[in-house]
Structure 1
Amino acid sequence: MEGERLFEEFSAGYYGLCTAGGMLSAGITHLAITPLDVLKVNMQVDPLKYRGISSGLITLWREQGHSALWRGWSGKLFGYGVQGGFKFGLYEYFKRSYSELLVDQHRSVIFFLSGASAQVFADVALCPFEAVKVQVQTQPHFARGLTDGFRKLYVNEGLSGFYKGLFPLWGRNLPFSMIMFSTFEHSVDLMYRKVIQRRKEDCSRAEQLGVTCLSGYAAGSVGTVISNPADNIVSFLYNRKAETVRQAIKEIGLVNLFTRSLPVRITLVGPVATLQWFLYDTIKVLTGLPTSGGLTRHEKDPNLLRQ
């Protein structure tokens, strides 16, 4: 049911393929939703002006032209491509490593630790791209794109300007990644055990990828709700609406931390996560590898077995 296998699982080539698949899937999907991301960031920075999805897009189009909707596209493509490569590639590596190291731990612990460990490195790689992207999207005259944006940000703020949002990024993406990967893994397990009631290996490619898509959507939606407060803080800091995390929380308000831009983020992240997992697992299937989900380790606990 799978193509000719190019790499053995858990080999160096396998992790390289996962990294490349993560870069491609994350870069393409984030590029595709750039207009909604531009709107989301502007809604977070100026909620009185950009109140809703439809009206906000119309306002951006009328005041700044259609090109404004694609502002920051290079940051989305390259920044989130690099992040996706680190996130997916390292998640596969850490999941394998922790499953062998923490043999007696429940699988949820493995998923949480693997997602968090991978995301720490992924956000370090993303942070400079995100710093430039947010300012390009909300300040029309800041820069045209990544090249002059990097230069201008360095001249204005030095090296620290690229990483002033790292802790809020971790605050947003670490919980998201932990919840996203864990929700995905548990959703995959639930689909095969309770819905399809067959092993993954006994299912067709279409069925396996269908499970991937449904699990990816669930994972993205749940993770979005958890990470929304930190996402608002990141936008405030990068646009100098606040100088510290505490000041940003005070300015935004506790309720708004959880609700501001949440509808547009759910509109963004759910489909993006679905498409990302679909592309990632399609690459795996086409190279003869099984789709994502499950652990491989000694048959000690039936709840820890690979699907």
Structure 2
Amino acid sequence: MANIEPPEEYEYEALPPNTSLLSNLLAGAFAGIMEHTVMYPVDAIKTRMQIVHPVGSATAYTGIANAVSQISATEGARTLWRGISSVVVGAGPAHAVYFATYEFVKHNLGGNVGNDHHPIAVATAGACATIASDALMNPFDVIKQRMQMHNSTYGSVFDCARTVYRHEGLRAFYVSYPTTLAMTIPFTAIQFTAYESLSKVLNPQKKYDPLTHCVSGGLAGAVAAGLTTPLDVIKTLLQTRGNSQDPRIRTCSSLFDAAKIINEREGMRGFMRGWKPRIVNAMPSTAICWTSYEMAKYYFYTREKERAI
């Protein structure tokens, strides 16, 4: 009887080389939607706290609990979910591109070779991934933040997009894109490098382990979020400038202009506004994102392995 050679074994984290692009896209889309929807209310609070001179009661927010209490009492708890459909529509394709780009660049830079650590390959892959995904996600992020603002009058995501385009033009959806990249490139590089490093320490066998993926993702997200909060504050100012009553903010058009306004009015403290809800949001969000992504990868991994038998 002829010997039947066992199927080639692949490292779970790398996925078999014949895994389709569609599989990576689906895994990324699943992770992105899960990440952004579960923690959306905390993200809404962060936006409220970061806006410079917001209208009405938002000026009185002193913390996460206080913000939840005030918003629930004056606007209703459902307000915390306003604009979530923009994230659902945008996060799927954006994160599909995000993780597909990450896996492609990481593989071609040798980031999946052996059990060695490859921080440069991982960081570079993460930077490339965020450049591609943010080009898709930035307009949806602008719409989301406009709808999260206090006393937002937009009836729907489409209404918000149409109104912003009519009054501010297409540029309004991308005025924050350079700042977004200035924030998300280091955020992603830090997050991916920290995640890969923690994963190798906590899970050296590279086995599918939801707890390890969750802990590594949460800690990586918290570190990256804390370090990039100043740029997130600047991004929020640029993305919500069209709704501001301040003429100087309305005409602000660059990262440096926004940073100057924040520094003049609030000093260095202003750049850390909303850092607590940002970390509270990022920690479980990235934990959910990585756990969901690894779950999807494992599903495709086991399916391809069964086909090879």
Scaled by the length of structure 1, the TM-score of the pair is 0.81
Match of 1:65 among 51, 69, 76: 76
Distance 2:268 2:302 in 1: 44
Q: CA deviation at 1:139?
A: 5.0
Q: Distance in 1 between matches of 2:290 and 2:15?
A: 21
Matches within 5 A, 1:41-190: 41-45=47-51, 46=54, 48-99=59-110, 107-138=118-149, 140-190=151-201
| Aligned counterpart, 1:299 | none
CA distance in 1, matches of 2:215, 2:302: 20
Query: Any conservation in 1 of the 2:34–2:292 contact (CA below 8 Å)?
Result: no
Give, in angstroms, the shift of residue 172 of structure 1. 1.5
Matched residue type, 2:214: C
CA contact (8 A) 1:43 1:49 kept: no
Structure 2 distance, partners of 1:80, 1:231, is 18
Which of 291, 295, 299 aligns to 1:286? It is 299
Q: Which piece of structure 1 moves more, 26-35 or 264-273?
A: 26-35
Identity of aligned residues (%): 25
Could you tell me how far apart the structure 2 residues matched to 1:219 and 1:91 are? 16
CA distance in 1, matches of 2:35, 2:101: 19
> Which 5+ residue runs of structure 2 have no aligned equivalent?
1-8, 304-309
Which whole-Å deviations, capped at 9, do the CAs of 1:211-248 have from their partners, x for residues lacking one? 21121112111110122111101111122153132232
CA distance in structure 2 between the aligned counterparts of 1:166 and 1:22, rounded to whole angstroms: 21
Give the structure 2 partner of residue 260 of structure 1. Answer: 273
Q: Distance in 2 between matches of 1:11 and 1:229?
A: 42
**Quick one: which amino acid aligns to residue 285 of structure 1?**
Y
Matched AA of 1:108? P
1:34 maps onto 2:45 in alignment: no
Question: What amino acid sits opposite 2:60 in the alignment?
Answer: K
The aligned length equals 273
Contact persistence 2:16–2:301 (CA under 8 A): no
Secondary structure at the aligned position of 2:90 is classed as: helix
Q: Quote the Cα distance in structure 1 between the aligned partners of 2:106 and 2:15.
A: 16
2: CA distance, partners of 1:132 / 1:232: 16
* 1:163/1:139 CA distance change after superposition, 3 Å: farther
Change (3 A) 1:63 1:286: same
CA distance in 1 between counterparts of 2:187 and 2:211 reads 23
Q: Structure 1 residue 257: deviation in Å?
A: 4.8
Q: Name the SS of the counterpart of 1:164 in structure 2.
A: coil
Residues 118, 289 of structure 1: alpha-carbon distance in 2 compared, 3 angstrom cutoff:
farther
Cα distance in structure 2, aligned partners of 1:215 and 1:125? 27
Distance 1:10 1:129 in 2: 33
**Which 5+ residue runs of structure 1 have no aligned equivalent?**
194-198, 291-307
Residue 192 (structure 1) shift: 3.2
